[in-house]
Structure 1
Amino acid sequence: MGFLDISNVTKSYGSVQVLHQVDIAVEEGEFLVLVGPSGCGKSTLLNMIAGLESITSGEIRIKDRVMNGVHPSKRNIAMVFQSYALYPNMTVGQNMTFGLEMHGVPKPERDKALADVAKLLQIDHLLDRKPGQLSGGQRQRVAMGRALVRDPDVFLFDEPLSNLDAKLRVDMRTEIKKLHQKLKTTIVYVTHDQIEALTLSTRIAVMNKGFVQQLGTPKEIYDQPANLFVATFMGSPAMNIIPTKVVLEGDAPHAELSDAEGNRVLLALNQRNLTAWAGREILLGIRPEAITDPEGADRNSGSIRPLSNVVTVTEPAGADTFVTMSLSGKDVIARMRADAAVHPGQRFEFAVNMEKAVAFDPQTEARITP
């Protein structure tokens, strides 16, 4: 049993079910990120934890106390919204301590909590300003500070960085990470940004169409996606998905592909259980960083396979160069070093790390596990 337990929870609006039997146990001090596309149910689930949405069936517990039907003000949770939700007529200090004041916390305690949190977030010089005088990043710090002064059991973040520009988002992401490492607070964080999910979380729940598709650590989600949706949603650029047939060379399974000129290409598959798929179609998943030039290949891998193919497009991207080729009629992206000598139209010797390849069942779209 976790610090926050979501047990078999569903949510329906009339005859339409938008959340399907969600089961997640969050340990104390954990940073859980709910990630998925718009409309997948992640914000609905967050609002149910907060008490802003009712639960159709199932149970939510915090510290082994059932929260079903408990008013939001009685749950000892704090929420940070996308819109900041600051009172424009109050100063920063008043915004941050308003909740404490409403709960009858004595002024000396309020002042101490305010001073401690303002120093932690480096906004102590802003306490007498109004929200309208602050930048977006400063407003987000104030919204976080208002949550922190309450010392709640669980922090809930609803897409808190989506209104910020790209650089500020990266900066604030780092600040939130540092804050969690320092305070060891329990956080449930909603985002549609998979980079945010991978960098911030201790665990991720990937959601789609009201279902939790996979729950695991960032490494598990990235390296061992449970299905095709998780594989293509998590990662940028997305995982390459290539239709292929499993063939046996000797007794070893290989992926049979065709290069840009229609020549047959064989890549040895690491999963021995794929022998049972001989003669059948699979979907082969390979992340861009697992396809590179021989010099840039992972020297710790024992499964680097050569692949000769024609380069279609090169895209310099600062520290990386993204190289596109065609395999079995699909565009496949490789990630290479910035100084890789690759040019459109040339035949190039790629190196593919087959230790990182995963296979999916084309019918169920589930990963074929070893």
Structure 2
Amino acid sequence: MGFLDIENVTKSYGSTEVLHRVDVSVAEGEFLVLVGPSGCGKSTLLNMIAGLEDITSGTIAIKGQPMNGVHPSKRNIAMVFQSYALYPNMTVAQNITFGLEMHGVPKAERAAAMDKVADMLQITPLLNRKPGQLSGGQRQRVAMGRALVRNPDVFLFDEPLSNLDAKLRVDMRTEIKKLHQRLGTTIVYVTHDQIEAMTLSTRIAVMNGGYVQQLGTPKEIYDNPANVFVASFMGSPSMNLIPAILRRKGAAAMVEITDATGAPVLLPVAVDQGADGAAVLLGIRPEAVTDPDGADKKARNVVLARNRIDVTEPAGSDTFITTCFAGKDVVGRMRADAEAHPGEMAELALNMDKAVLFDPKTENRLR
């Protein structure tokens, strides 16, 4: 049993089921990120934890106590919304302590809690300002302060950074990470941004179509995606998916693809499923398609293949290239000073230790 247990939970609107048998157990102090495209059910699940949406079937429990039917105010959770939801006529200090005041917390205790949180979030100089006088990042800190001051069992974040510009989003991401490391609080965080999911979480639940597609650590999700959706959704640029033919010779397995000229390229793979001659999808991350000097020196199966470079995209610390295998554009990630020029042939190093295979019909991972 975890600190927060979501057991066989479904959600229906009329005859339409939008969440299907969700099972997730969150340990105390864990940072769980629910990630997926718009409409996948992640915010609906968060609202059910908060008590803002009813549960159609299944159970949600906090610290072993079922929350089905329990009013949001009785759940000891705190929620940070995308829209901040600050009271415009109140000062920052009043916004932060309003919930404590409503729960009858004495004034001296409220002030002490507010001072502690304001110092932690570095918003002490803002306490007498109104929300209209604050920047987006400052408003988000105030919204977080209002949640933190209550010392709840579980923090719920609903896409809290989506209204911020790119640089501020990165800065606030770091602040939230620091906050979690300092306080060790239990957090469930919703986002559609897979970079946020990877950098913030201790575990990720990747959702699509109302189902949890995969639950695991960021490394597990990134290195060992359970299906094509997870492989393509997680990672920027996303995993390359290349049509291939599985070739078996005794205990050895290889996949056959073609280069830009149509010539065959054989690549070793570690897979038990799939018959000789079966059509498969070869999944390989951009960083596993690189220049020979940039290849992982610890890798056991690096295959060199010459191929035509179609596009180069310098990105400061790296150079992204686009080449063609099996008639598909394939993105590679080279060192910044690697020799790669559009229209020319280049030696590519393919790290097959990082390659995975999928069944093109079911789209599930082959093991």
Per the TM alignment, residue 248 of structure 1 is displaced from its structure 2 partner at its CA by 3.2
Query: Which amino acid letter does the alignment assign opposite residue 134 of structure 2?
Result: L
Q: SS state of the match for residue 349, structure 1?
A: strand
Measure, in 2, the Cα distance between the counterparts of 1:212 and 1:143. Answer: 29
Residue 115 of structure 1 aligns to a residue whose secondary structure is: helix
Asked if the contact 1:270–1:303 (Cα under 8 Å) also holds between the matched residues in 2, the reply is: no
Match for residue 330 of structure 1 among 313, 328, 331: 328
Unpaired stretches in structure 2, ≥5 consecutive residues: none
Aligned to 1:190: 190
Judge conservation of contact 2:96–2:114 (CA < 8 Å) in 1: yes
Question: Does the 8 Å contact 1:245/1:257 carry over to 2?
Answer: yes
Counterpart in the other structure of 2:87: 87
CA distance in 1, matches of 2:174, 2:136: 16
Q: List structure 1 runs of 4+ shifted beyond 3 angstroms.
A: 248-251
**CA drift at 1:251:** 4.8
Q: Describe the shift of the 1:256–1:182 C-alpha distance in structure 2 as closer, same or farther (beyond 3 A).
A: same
Q: Deviations over 1:152-191 (max 9, x none)?
A: 0000000000000000000000000000000000000000
Is this contact kept in 2: 1:323–1:333, CA < 8 A?
yes
1:256 aligned partner: 256
Distance (Å, rounded) in 1 between the aligned partners of 2:90 and 2:344: 64
SS at match of 1:83: coil
Look up the match of 1:111. Answer: 111
Partner of 2:165: 165
- Select the residue among 308, 311, 314 that pairs with 1:310: 308
Equivalent position amino acid for 1:360 in 2: F
What is the deviation of 1:253?
Answer: 1.6
Q: Indicate the residue corresponding to 1:76 in structure 2.
A: 76
TM-superposed CA distance for 1:337, in Å, is 1.0
The question of whether the paired residues in 2 share the 8 Å contact of 1:313 and 1:324 is answered with: yes
> Aligned ranges for residues 178-327 of structure 1 at < 5 Å?
178-248=178-248, 251-271=251-271, 273-274=272-273, 276-327=274-325
Give the number of equivalent residue pairs.
Answer: 367
- Alpha-carbon offset, residue 338 of structure 1: 1.0
Q: Which amino acid aligns with 1:53?
A: E
* CA apart distance, 1:263: 1.0
Measured against aligned partners, the alpha-carbon deviations of 1:52-77 in whole angstroms (never above 9, x if no partner) come to 00000000000111100000000000
In structure 2, C-alpha distance between the alignment counterparts of 1:322 and 1:368, rounded to whole Å: 28
Corresponding residue for residue 23 of structure 2: 23
Higher mean displacement: 218-227 or 262-271? 262-271
Distance 1:40 1:193 in 2: 13
Native 8 Å contact 1:360 1:367 kept in 2: yes
Deviation at 1:250, TM superposition (A): 6.3
Determine helix, strand or coil for the equivalent of 2:365. coil
Calculate percent identity across the aligned residue pairs.
73
Other-structure match for 1:353: 351
SS of the residue aligned with 2:151? Answer: coil
Residues 259-309 of structure 1: CA distance to partner in whole angstroms, max 9, x if unpaired? 1111111112233x25x5211111000000001010000001111111111
How far apart, CA to CA, are the structure 1 residues paired with 2:248 and 2:98?
Answer: 69
Checking the alignment, whether the CA contact within 8 Å between 2:248 and 2:275 is kept in structure 1 is no
1:131 correspondence with 2:131: yes
Partner Cα separation in structure 2 for residue 36 and residue 246 of structure 1? 31
Tell me how far apart the structure 2 counterparts of residues 249 and 24 of structure 1 sit (CA, whole Å): 41
Per the alignment, do residues 251 and 202 of structure 1 end up closer, same or farther by CA in structure 2, a change over 3 Å counting?
A: closer
Q: For structure 1, which runs of at least 5 residues remain unmatched after alignment?
A: none
Counterpart in 1 of 2:362?
364
Amino acid at match of 1:198: M
Distance 2:358 2:265 in 1: 19
**Which amino acid in the other structure matches residue 21 of structure 1?**
R
Distance across 1 between alignment mates of 2:61 and 2:231: 31
**Residues 8-36 of structure 1: CA deviation (Å, up to 9, x unaligned):** 00000001000000000000000000000
In the alignment, the residues of structure 1 paired with residue 20 and residue 252 of structure 2 have an alpha-carbon distance, to the nearest angstrom, of 41
Find the aligned partners of 1:183 and 1:138 in 2 and give their Cα distance.
20
